[in-house]
Structure 1
Amino acid sequence: MSNNINFGVSTWLWQSPFTTESIALFPKIKEMGFDVVEIPLEDPFLIDAKMVKKALLDNGLKPSICVVFGDDKDLTGENPQLYENCFEHAKACFEVAKMLEATFVAGPLYAAVGKARLASDEQRKIEWNRSVTNLGKLAAIGRAYQLDIALEPLNRFESDLVNTAEQVMQLIRDIDEESLKVALDGFHMTIEEHDIYKAITLVGDKLIHVQVSENHRGIPGTGLTPWSDFAKGLSDVDYKGTIVMESFTPENKKLAAAVNIWRKLASNQDEFALKGLEFLKRTFNN
């Protein structure tokens, strides 16, 4: 398994949003021992993709791309303008991803992040069907850029539509588009899944991306995540993708508030990255 797994880190660990100037992080990320840098495309127009691509090459790093939809972008909303906002944002993100030679983008693209409320069964069905229809269109846009889309379940505090591996697989079956895959995030899984091993094996070969932190969003290995179950699950589905450490800096107040980080999770973010990577390599290199 160790020969197939790459390890990455999200630039969200240090800053937000990602801009062209964020490439200053790349030498440090490479020196720490990461293979992949995860680039969250909050605003793709802040990025000179040619410069970022050169910096990736210069530092021997590969990219993974993360995309989310905010309040003005929602594939489940009533207003069709919200769908168009999603499609336009996605096109700009796909353009960057393609230029950086990524093969997929990952994220909870089925609905706006933070849309979590007690909706009626009837309303939930309506919104599920909107997501099915619009994700089919999004998948078609992605195919034009030769990109797969890895859908990520979120915890109940961030989404009321897709929280589990079972739900994301049902969504993919309902859409029936080959280019729709799955990204699993250990943080959300520790909140929502009954059994992390079973969740991973349920997804099987649809799993093309993995994100991790601890159950408290801190350094991997310092919390309650059942890491041996996690490693066995990835091994048994023959996972050959990247394991990306994703957490967030409390120094960026807007970002910290968005993800509910109210205290420091490490003495500094570099320590977070180094200790986390050491643990992940030890855990998944069996």
Structure 2
Amino acid sequence: MPLQIKFGVSTWLFTSPFQTSSIEELFPKIAEMGFDTVEIAIEDPALIDGNAVKNALNKYNLKAVVCGAFGPTRDLTNEDSAIHEICFKYIADCLDLCALWDTKFFAGPMYSAVGKARMLPPEQRKAEWDLAVKNLRKVCDMAQVRGLEIALEPLNRFESDLVNTAWDVMRLVDEIDHPAAKVILDSFHMNIEEPNIEEAIKLVGHKLIHIQVAENYRGTPGSGQTNWAAYRRGLETINYKGTVSIESFTPDNKELAQAVCIWHPLALSQDKFASEGLAFLKQWAQ
């Protein structure tokens, strides 16, 4: 039986930051390639005209998924509560856009700043974990009043020292103990951290509401060493019916490329990355 999924692609594959002027460049192309969903990476909500995006989604018959970007000024584990407030404001703006675009959740590693990878004493580790739980419970309340959920993303050990695996994120969700707390998994991070892909997906189970994919080297799906059969078995087992979205990054934005350590192009072109990746995923899902 084919997987009952939708196919998406991240705006980060093509451009950074996403802004209103990106719409007419990206949305027609993404729709023409055959994607169902555009995953909009919001770096700065002030750059985005929400109504213009909504109109374009309708015009090109696309659904939206929204993911966030979390740097040092958006760190819910920082000891400075003023940093928390900056992050809450950013998340609120993103949640408002989700509601406007009829997107049911906001996704990302919003528990901490990306790039915090340190050897900490146990008491500091626990303090940061407890801050993440406390602050994410507030974020869940913010989402719930808008009729939304959040999807928390584990990152690999080089990008986070807090949440790396399916087990970690499920522990976090369990401690948040809020109906709006759900999970996103990313195959790139899973290929580094998970000893058993299928079991990791099964562990998350019905909490999984989004999945991002790329090859083990963050390249075009189908071109590397990823155990795609294990991903399929896992998704079949939990009866996943959400979106499978290609996420990688354009090398053209040097700041973004440096942040994710992409030092050279990973495909002949970003358009080929997307179109060939989609062709592979459609075959894989059959």
TM-score bracket, normalised by the shorter chain, equals: over 0.9
1:150-189 matched pairs, under 5 angstroms: 150-189=151-190
Query: 2:9 is matched with which residue?
Result: 9
d(CA) in 2 for partners of 1:158 and 1:179? Answer: 25
Q: Which amino acid aligns with 2:265?
A: K
Does residue 231 (structure 1) correspond to residue 220 (structure 2)? The answer is no
Give the secondary structure class of the aligned counterpart of 2:7: strand
d(CA) in 2 for partners of 1:77 and 1:231? Answer: 38
Percent of aligned positions with the same letter in both sequences?
55
Give the secondary structure class of the aligned counterpart of 2:9: strand
In angstroms, what is the RMSD of aligned CA positions? 0.9
1:147 CA drift (Å): 1.1
Q: Which amino acid aligns with 2:53?
A: V
d(CA) in 1 for partners of 2:147 and 2:88? Answer: 16
Give the TM-score of the pair, scaled to structure 1: 0.98
Does residue 244 (structure 1) correspond to residue 248 (structure 2)? The answer is no
1:3 CA drift (Å): 6.1
Query: 2:97 is matched with which residue?
Result: 96
1:224 CA drift (Å): 1.4
d(CA) in 2 for partners of 1:73 and 1:10? Answer: 21
Q: Which amino acid aligns with 2:36?
A: D
Which runs of 5 or more residues in structure 2 are unaligned?
A: none
Does residue 76 (structure 1) correspond to residue 73 (structure 2)? The answer is no
1:2 CA drift (Å): 3.4
d(CA) in 1 for partners of 2:151 and 2:133? Answer: 15
1:173 CA drift (Å): 0.6
Query: 1:283 is matched with which residue?
Result: 284
Give the secondary structure class of the aligned counterpart of 1:123: helix
Give the TM-score of the pair, scaled to structure 2: 0.98
Q: Which amino acid aligns with 2:19?
A: T
1:73 CA drift (Å): 1.4
Q: Which amino acid aligns with 1:178?
A: P
Extract structure 1 runs of 4+ deviating beyond 4 A: none
1:4 CA drift (Å): 2.1
d(CA) in 1 for partners of 2:239 and 2:221? Answer: 22
Render the CA deviation track for 1:205-242: whole Å, top value 9, x for unaligned. Answer: 00000000011010011111110000110011000000
Q: Which amino acid aligns with 2:65?
A: S
**How many aligned positions are there?**
285
Give the secondary structure class of the aligned counterpart of 2:73: coil
